[in-house]
Chain A
Amino acid sequence: MAAERGGDSVSTRTEILALVRRYYAEKFGDRSFDAATDPVRYAGRVFGAEELCNLVDASLDFYLTAGRFTEQFEAGIADYFGVSDALFVNSGSSANLVALTALTSPRLGERQLRPGDEVLTVAAGFPSTVAPIVQNGLVPVFVDVRLSDYNVDSALLEAAVSPRTKAIMLAHTLGVPFDLDAVMELVEKHGLWLIEDNCDALGSRYRGTLTGTFGHLSTLSFYPAHHITTGEGGSVVTDDEELARIARSVRDWGRDCYCAGGENDTCGKRFAQQFGSLPYGYDHKYVYSHLGYNLKATDMQAAIGCAQLERLGDFTAARKANHATLLEALRPFEDRLLLPSAPANADPSWFCFVVTVCADAGFSRNELTRFLEANRVETRNLFSGNLLRHPAFEHIERRVAGELTNTDAIMERTFFVGVYPGLDEPRLEHMAEVFVRFMNGERADDGASGASSSRAG
């Protein structure tokens, strides 16, 4: 049993944190790279001693649930976007679930999303952009994407709108802002809700404005592959305080009370309100206005996030620089590789370097990725490819607006490699060199080395 005490704990804590800094230098200080043996990851945690110190600091608080670091992190994210609210949740997928579910709240009156209402989205992406639509009894309407930037083809959006269409939920695919001019025009014209899945695009801008600030709600992911990390974690961002209150309720079991953990009666009316057919004055802490979840994260995760947020500017710059380096290296192969491009007005904080193998390239996507993997360059497909071809989504109630031709092409021919800030010059050089070898005719069976044979299948 332990209880909180004063005494020497402050100096002990200082000693511990000094040791943590030493440990960081000893354990994580070596960033050397051996091209013959070391992998080039597509993503990874990039962190310094501050993250480790914050993590330990939070654990020494032993507050565990949302506390001072959560408050600081949520405030920091809200300030970064210049909005009123940011809610820390336990993943980007949870953020999407909370954001979409918030729009089904009865508190929204006429604008509440109801079962059967349609939500425009795309099938070329991550499943948790679409799953919350289905989970809430809504009908996803799939629109095809463009191969140039892998975002929704905005020319097809207007035709996809029906009288039942009430919302748009789209990701800024791999960091590239979708056509916000067209989408916002549609939102205003038809009075639609807009959720920006900004999970892969923290730091991206459109016409100079941060993505994640255009929609009624937006979401972030802090999984280690993302722009900043808290391990597991995500956020719902909004400048609408009513939506924030609803989202907070959905995140926190559906309760009406908004007191933080360990707090009581912050509203001053804990025992003085009437809800539903409950007795007057029923304890507000246990009044439920939504069918909610518990999707909160811990203060230890938030502590890491606080330190990561300080690095976001540098991270964004590094992603852009790394992307530019790879683009320059692969430019000579544009006849066979469709290289990434951002539309006018978009300034992406790239999630990755995405490539589509041209249909007439003379080799397949899998041949190229097999070669890259065999040479320790990690690759990923563009998530689900075509989500509707996956077992869980094949039979969902949905509408497909037109053909998903490009979505299928992405499933067949697209992949990406990393640009994350952990990639330094030697790693980028190695990656480029492996690409060049393949494009010059070398194949996996010729060039594989090390442990690659078991990973190349």
Chain B
Amino acid sequence: MAVVRRIPCVVEALEDHGEHVYTVHLRPGVQAPRFKPGQFLHLALDPYEPGGFWPDSRVFSIASPPEARELLAVTYAVKGDFTGRMERELRVGTSVWVKLPYGDFVVDGANDVVLFAGGTGVTAFTAFLHSLVSGAESRVLLCYGARRAELFVYQPLVEDCARRAPSFEARLFTEDRDGRLSVEAVWDSVTRLHAPIFYLSGPPSMLSAISAELCDHGVPPEVVKTDAWE
């Protein structure tokens, strides 16, 4: 983990995806530090006075690519008091503080990988997907589930990856149309990969279900990486 820095940011743009799901684009007041795909930041709504204590904050995966540190993006769904405040208070021009980078949920693109993403959990993978290159030798299978098709917030990015990277395959599942995302449903794609590493990001119920199903399919636990949150 690189040196953590606390930096003031201004909301540059807001995207309302509906169903209380938003993407916030933040313009850092100073150069943001290096980060890796899959790492996260802390976002604070209350003012931070350098020299004082860090205010109440929540963590969000950095959804923007590491190469574009002049504009940081996070995607969130309103689930509690803090994200409720974000929905009410964040407007273009609002000042916030962030500190970053944190976390070691970093996709190792040197191996074939399977990415299980549920809802906004996909943001743990978007920075990695941004950096996918057309000539990559290792293969990437994204298994992306959402409640409804409108909530595939990053579908354009997924489609772009599919166009430019032949080694990339996406399997999208909507609960109202396809049922819940499951290992069984994608196992045919998984078996085409070579010794893949599995990365799981999403709500706790999805993480425990997918973990158990992977175990049932004989996947050793040491190749399953989970982005678990309290």
Contacts and interface: CB of A to CB of B under 8 A. Distances in A.
A389 interface: no
B138 to A, nearest CB: 21
A67 B2 contact: no
Interface string A69-111: 0010011001000001110000000000000000000000000
Interface string B1-38: 11111100000000000000000000000000110100
Interface stretch (B50-58, B109-117, B140-148, B177-185): B50-58
A74 B3 contact: yes
Interface residues of B, number: 24
Q: Which of B1, B40, B104, B229 has the most CB of A within 10 A?
A: B1
Interface stretch (A113-121, A260-268, A315-323, A432-440): A260-268
A262 B55 CA distance: 11
Given A268-B59, A268-B230, A269-B229, A244 B54 contact: no
A279 B53 CA distance: 30
B102 interface: yes
Given A67-B51, A68-B50, A68-B51, A271 B230 contact: yes
A188 interface: no
B51 A266 contact: no
Given A75-B33, A266-B42, A267-B103, A86 B230 contact: no
Nearest to B48: A68
B209 interface: no
B2 A263 contact: no
Contact of B51 (A61, A268, A270): A61
Contacts of A21: none
A86 B2 CA distance: 8
Interface majority SS (helix, strand, loop, mixed), chain A: loop
Given A68-B51, A84-B34, A268-B230, A245 B1 contact: yes
Nearest to B52: A4
Contacts of A61: 51-52
Interface string A222-246: 0000000000000000000100110
Contacts of B149: none
Interface string A43-85: 0000000000000001001010001100100110010000011
Contact of B102 (A63, A78, A266): A266
Given A58-B51, A241-B104, A272-B229, 16 more contacts: A61-B51, A68-B51, A71-B4, A71-B5, A75-B3, A75-B5, A84-B34, A85-B2, A241-B2, A245-B1, A245-B104, A265-B230, A266-B4, A269-B229, A271-B230, A272-B230
Interface string A199-223: 0000000000000000000000000
A58 B51 CA distance: 8
Given A269-B229, A272-B229, A63 B3 contact: no
Given A84-B34, A266-B102, A268-B40, A78 B51 contact: no
> Chain A interface: which size bin?
20 to 34
Contacts of B51: 58, 61, 63, 67-68
Q: Which of B42, B51, B59 has the most CB of A within 10 A?
A: B51
Contacts of A258: 1
A68 B103 CA distance: 21
A78 B228 contact: no
B1 A241 contact: yes
A272 to B, nearest CB: 5
A270 B103 CA distance: 13
Contacts, number: 62
A269 B228 contact: yes
A137 to B, nearest CB: 28
A260 B230 contact: no
Q: Which of A67, A84, A245, A271 has the most CB of B within 10 A?
A: A84
B100 to A, nearest CB: 10
Given A269-B228, A269-B230, A271-B230, A260 B103 contact: no
Contacts of A67: 51
Nearest to A242: B104
Interface string B42-86: 100000001111100001000000000000000000000000000
Contacts of B229: 268-269, 272
Interface string B90-105: 0000000001001110
Contacts of B34: 84
A6 B86 CA distance: 27
Contacts of A269: 228-230
Contacts of A268: 40, 59, 102, 229-230
A78 B230 contact: no
Contacts of A272: 228-230
A258 B54 CA distance: 15
Interface in A251-284: 258, 260, 262-263, 265-273
A262 B54 CA distance: 8
7 contacts: A71-B4, A71-B5, A78-B3, A84-B34, A86-B3, A245-B1, A266-B59
B2 A244 contact: yes
Nearest to A272: B230
A435 B4 CA distance: 50
A445 to B, nearest CB: 56
